[in-house]
Structure 1
Amino acid sequence: MIMKQQKMESKKIFIADDDEAIVDATSMMLEMVGYQVRHTLNGATVQTALLDRPDLLLLDIWMSGFDGRDICRRLKADPATLNIPVLMISASREIRESALESGADDFLAKPFDMDDLLEKVAKLIV
């Protein structure tokens, strides 16, 4: 399925995760199918980084001192960022419900299959 994905050259994804290996692997996969990808390893920079209006935010729940659910609540409360879809990711599967309650549009548990990631991304980016 990975190679069957259509090119999405105009679509921008922003990844916020403090695990550099996850960011590298995810970025590489998303870029391979044509998405434009930017990232941060620091939860403090997420809101500022969204000023260029990505089409999707891939947000880790636990980012070195920052709770992605709090970041998501702030983004969804701000008229400038409330329409950016948020796909929250976490190694803790039990957090799914609280991630969705914080305003995330979907949730993906780590470790995740790249086909599952691409499928969720395609559903969220319109």
Structure 2
Amino acid sequence: MKKLKILICDDDQDNLDVLQILLEMEGYIVVKEDQSSKLISTINSEQPDLLLLDIWMPEICGDEIIKIIRSDSSINGLPIIAFSASLDIEKISKKAGANQYISKPYDINEITRLIINVLGNKL
């Protein structure tokens, strides 16, 4: 069975490192990107199976990135789970076009459940 690749975009290096360790322990290949301005290029080069995206990013906000992804026919099918400490994460992520969302602080079991739910038939 192919290992699935998850791309994580967050400007907080500690958060990237923790998520990488936890998701690799779950058997996923993890790619990290800490600059939202480079994310589309990273998506095109890495071709991930799923994107975990922080909504509050410098340079380009996560909801704007989701809109860019959804308007690009070559990558618009990429499953996206948005995350944020914002109280409006549900509204923001749904409006932008994310498949799912999770609030910070989050639980690894909840992230794993969302990943399984979003990836479904790829597992």
The aligned amino acid for 1:34 is G
Paired residue secondary structure (2:90): helix
Question: Who is 2:37 aligned against?
Answer: 44
Question: Who is 2:118 aligned against?
Answer: 124
Question: Who is 1:100 aligned against?
Answer: 94
Paired residue secondary structure (1:59): strand
In the alignment, the residues of structure 1 paired with residue 81 and residue 113 of structure 2 have an alpha-carbon distance, to the nearest angstrom, of 12
Equivalent in 14, 21, 37 of residue 7 of structure 2? 14
Q: CA RMSD in A?
A: 1.2
Shift of residue 113 of structure 1? 0.5
Question: Who is 1:5 aligned against?
Answer: none
* TM-score, normalised by the number of residues in structure 1: 0.90
- Structure 1 unaligned regions, length at least 5: 1-7
Question: Who is 1:69 aligned against?
Answer: 63
In the alignment, the residues of structure 1 paired with residue 16 and residue 61 of structure 2 have an alpha-carbon distance, to the nearest angstrom, of 17
Question: Who is 2:19 aligned against?
Answer: 26
Question: Who is 1:89 aligned against?
Answer: 83
User: What's the CA shift string for 1:10-36, capped at 9, x where partnerless?
Assistant: 200000000111111111010011100
* TM-score, normalised by the number of residues in structure 2: 0.92
Runs of at least 4 residues off by over 3 Å: none
Aligned residues: 119
1:112 aligns with 2:106: yes
